[in-house]
Amino acid sequence: MKNIRWASVLTVLGCAVVGLVSLFSLLRGRTWAWFPLLVAVAVGFREIRYLQRIDHQRNAPR
C-alpha cells in the first residue's frame, strides 16, 4: 500500500470546503468571495499536481 500524505489530503479537503463556501457566497451576491475561491482552487490544484509528481517519481524505473 502507498504511503498516504495526510497533510496533502487535508489541504485538498480544506480547499474544497473553502471553495464551496465561497461559491455559495458568490451565488448569494457577495462579489468579494471571488478572491478566496480563486486562492482555494489554485492551492488545491497545486497540491494535487504535487501529489501526482511524487507518485510518478515513486513509480519511475530506476
CB distance 48 to 13 below 8 Å = no
Burial of 27 (0-12, 13-18, 19+ CB in 10 A): exposed
Q: Specify the pLDDT at position 30.
A: 94
Q: Specify the pLDDT at position 32.
A: 95
Q: Which ranges in 1-62 belong to alpha helices (H)?
A: 6-27, 34-59
The domain segmentation of the chain, as residue ranges, is 4-57
Question: Per-10-residue mean pLDDT for the chain, 62 residues long?
Answer: 79 96 96 95 94 80 72
Q: Specify the pLDDT at position 1.
A: 44
CB distance 37 to 22 below 8 Å = yes
Q: Looking up cell 519511475, which residue turns up?
A: 60
